[in-house]
Amino acid sequence: MRLVLLGAPGSGKGTQADILKAELGVPHISTGDLLRAAVKAGTPLGLQAKAVMDAGQLVSDDIVLAMLEERISQPDAKSGFILDGYPRNLAQCKALETLLERIGQPLDVAVKLDVPSELIVERIAGRAAKEGRKDDTPETVRERLRVYAEQTEPVAAHFAEEGLLKVVDGVGELADITRRVLAALPRGGDANRLRA
């Protein structure tokens, strides 16, 4: 199963990806985690990324895509993967599709977790208070939601045009949301596999 998880910041993508990796038996790949691991390990791509970050710049899409290609070429990703947090914009989306086509692993589905913006603001503010994080104010969360709507919503629209998008209600109990995601997957995504 080759799956992209979409959703606004705070919609629960990372949480669902962690649950789904066990359910589907495929790795959860977060480009942020890949980047941090490559920099820490001092890989050739990690060193390139570190030089860019040390200069105060954003790591290029080319470097991120190369890291992604390395990761999905590993044996544990042969039967699929769950991408979380990538692609974030249409340019990344097209680059990802080109890569997956070239290596013969096209996407099976893109699942978008649909959560109302005000609920996301509440969720993140609650999490920030619990974790003592001062950077997740309602204002900064609303700005991240604005950027998501501007840059990432078009990715969902693109996947919809390709017939790959499934929109899932991301509100409710964790297990219920996971069941909805599994039910939205191609080949019926056996929702009964989720252990109660």
Instruction: Give the residue from 60, 56, 37 showing the smallest Cα distance to 48.
Output: 60
How many whole angstroms separate alpha carbon 180 and alpha carbon 187? Answer: 14
Q: Which of 13, 71, 179, 180 is catalytic?
A: 13
Q: Is 133 a catalytic residue?
A: yes
Active site residue 102: no
Among candidate residues 50, 123, 142, 144, the one labeled active-site is: 144
In angstroms, the CA 196 to CA 48 distance is 45
Of 21, 50, 88, 142, which is the active-site residue? 88
Catalytic residue among 78, 94, 133, 193: 133
Catalytic residue, chosen from 36, 127, 146, 193, is: 127
Is 144 catalytic? The answer is: yes
Please report how the helices 61-72 and 90-102 are oriented relative to each other, as an axis angle in degrees rounded to 10. 40
C-alpha to C-alpha distance for 113 and 134, rounded to whole angstroms: 26
What is the widest separation between alpha-carbon atoms in the chain?
Answer: 49
Active-site residues: which are they? 13, 88, 127, 133, 144
